Structure 1
Amino acid sequence: MRTADPRQLDLFSAGLRASDGPADPRLPPIPPADLPPGARRRTLALDDGMLDYVLRRARRKTIGLHIRDTGLMIQAPAWATRAQIEDAIRHKAAWIREKLRDRDRRLELLALQAGQWRAGGRIPYLGVAIELQLDGARSARYEGDPAAPATGDRLFLPLPDTADTGRIQERAQAWLQARARIDFEGRLQRCLDQAGQSIAGWGLSSAQGRWGSCTSQRRIRLNWRLIHFAPALIDYVVAHEVAHLKEMNHSPAFWREVERLCPDFWTARDTLRRQPPDTLPLI
């Protein structure tokens, strides 16, 4: 877990910091445009086929395995022999294959993203799919109840029919962030009242590695991309951060407080652990 002053707690201690991505075995790994200084490409024969990886020597005490969009990266100390490195890879082969499959799935989703930012494109909002439309109005207009959206509701963006995907994405993102601020404010206040706690302030974040954070100065930040998800998942993140106001750790006492504030938190926690912010296919 990363630490800072003031002390900050990640929403999850490990899962969100992995830059792991999705993996369809039919998709070849994307080779890096340039290798890091001193790095070399290697190939290892495993029981289920050949595995390509990049090896880089580093000033560290152990052999590190990292999954990037470009594939498997190994960072090894100078003393480690190639045989030792490959033994480490074989020992973690199942984990590597799983993470590469995750990487390929994410890359496939990202490839589909380009088709979202157009009139008629659909984006997730509070757990349902809403449709984007363009009109010449002065401000965005939501057709439906933005506090209780239904599948098929339409969001009209103040853009001409000729708007490119970049402008459409920018306008949609601005609307989603504005809604996130309204929605999260209410959820956070209700949870604080339930917990009997107060905060020095809160705000939205765009962090790639965490869904939320709480500092020892009693400031909470919530990732605005949570607005894509169903309310139960947002409520869990809010409860997680509010629980840190009482327990600035991830001890059993902390999880008891989370459960008190959000009794069915297990399902939401497991869902979000499988979907860190940097793998979100939209925006």
Structure 2
Amino acid sequence: MRSFLQLALDLFDAAPVQAPPPSIVVPEPRPELHGPQQPAQSITSVMAPAQFSHPRATRETRLCDAQVAYEFKRGKRRTIGMQVGPDGLVVSAPRWVPLYEVEAALQEKASWIVRKLGEMRERQQRLDSTHIEWRDGSSFPFLGETVIVVLDPTHAYRTVGGSLKADDVEVVLHTDAQAPNLTLDGVPHLTLHIGLPQHASTQQIRDTVQAWLMRQAHRVFTERLQHYAPQLGVQWRKLSLSSAGTRWGSASSDGAIRLNWRLVHFRQSVIDYVVAHELSHLRVMDHSPRFWETVRSVVPDYQSLRGELRDEALPRWH
């Protein structure tokens, strides 16, 4: 229930909430002889606007052709702020700004808001589609290729204290030629044979695949660092793997490089961009034009690769 203050603000500032227009039902056409009857459809269902609703929405408005319910905040600030995130639109305004000015600001930015809300919804749908049910036959991306998980108890494994440990399980990557009958959508793929029994738990399978991927990531990253460092005239001293949620890599002036192990999902050219990016920081420790020219000297198409890195939806591990 809203507070008395919110009710008071609504009484003085808010336009009255109008009830939604009644549905206009199109008359059902007369059926032809022996023909199927078509169900009646309402105009409102056919022409319904896009709906965006923040889980903590306190206000609602119509922007372009979309109905947007947003979270509204008042605070100590000087301007009206708008932010589109995974949950939806959040609007912040100074305490002294009347609601009609907030509404005017929203209408002024309506096209941008609706576009961003649509992009965020599409991105969230892609993220939701990357959830993996870890079992025999699951698939995941590795260096831009699809790999199918095969639980293969014929591979040797041992138990430690009655439980399986990921590092003690034999994992073998087979090529299409070695396993030509395993396909995904009719297309042969790489297969990852894991020495786990068919009754292995979801967590055991996931942890085993992740441990294997992290070992491959360290190997691949080391190779690419050794490839690009001489070209850039720099020397790196230490490689560490990270699991950061929003950062793909970092570099320190002492030559320490940190790279997110999940980069191993991408094709090699994308990995090369991140490696070149971090090595370039050993020459230019900022993002000035000189830095980007340094990156371009070894990865000319870095801009398109950067976009791929930003837009690609990767498997969710937690």
CA 1:45/1:201 → structure 2, altered by over 3 Å: closer, same or farther? same
Aligned counterpart, 2:293 = 256
In the alignment, residue 42 of structure 1 is paired with which amino acid?
Answer: R
Aligned counterpart, 2:198 = 161
State whether structure 2 residue 62 is matched by structure 1 residue 45. Answer: yes
Kindly report which structure 2 residues correspond to 1:190-205, keeping only aligned pairs within 5 A, or say none: 190-205=227-242
Deviation at 1:114, TM superposition (A): 4.2
Partner Cα distance (2:194, 2:53) in 1: 35
**Greater alpha carbon shift after TM alignment, 118-127 vs 100-109:** 100-109
* Unaligned runs of at least 5 residues, structure 1: 1-24
CA 1:266/1:186 → structure 2, altered by over 3 Å: closer, same or farther? same
Please tell me whether the aligned partners of residues 214 and 220 of structure 1 are also in contact (alpha carbons under 8 angstroms).
Answer: yes
Partner Cα distance (1:192, 1:244) in 2: 11
Q: Secondary structure at the match of 1:208?
A: coil
**Which protein has the larger Cα radius of gyration, Structure 1 or Structure 2?**
2
Deviation at 1:31, TM superposition (A): 5.3
Alpha-carbon RMSD: 2.7
Aligned counterpart, 1:120 = 137
CA 1:158/1:29 → structure 2, altered by over 3 Å: closer, same or farther? farther
In the alignment, residue 108 of structure 1 is paired with which amino acid?
Answer: Q
Provide, for residues 14-37 of structure 1, a one-character-per-residue CA deviation record: whole Å limited to 9, x for no partner. xxxxxxxxxxx99965753xx5xx
Kindly report which structure 2 residues correspond to 1:33-112, keeping only aligned pairs within 5 A, or say none: 35=56, 41-112=58-129
Q: Secondary structure at the match of 2:136?
A: coil
In the alignment, residue 174 of structure 1 is paired with which amino acid?
Answer: A
CA 1:29/1:258 → structure 2, altered by over 3 Å: closer, same or farther? same
TM-score for both structures, normalised by structure 2:
0.69
In the alignment, residue 277 of structure 2 is paired with which amino acid?
Answer: H
**Sequence identity, in percent?**
38
Q: Secondary structure at the match of 2:250?
A: strand
Aligned counterpart, 2:171 = 140
State whether structure 2 residue 297 is matched by structure 1 residue 280. Answer: no
Partner Cα distance (1:246, 1:76) in 2: 43
Partner Cα distance (2:150, 2:192) in 1: 6
TM-score for both structures, normalised by structure 1:
0.76
Aligned counterpart, 1:20 = none
Deviation at 1:109, TM superposition (A): 3.1
Provide, for residues 127-152 of structure 1, a one-character-per-residue CA deviation record: whole Å limited to 9, x for no partner. 0111111123322121139xxxx960
Provide, for residues 53-90 of structure 1, a one-character-per-residue CA deviation record: whole Å limited to 9, x for no partner. 11123444443322333221223333433233333333
Does 1 or 2 have the higher relative contact order (CA < 8 Å, sep 6+)? 1
* Unaligned runs of at least 5 residues, structure 2: 1-47, 158-169, 177-186
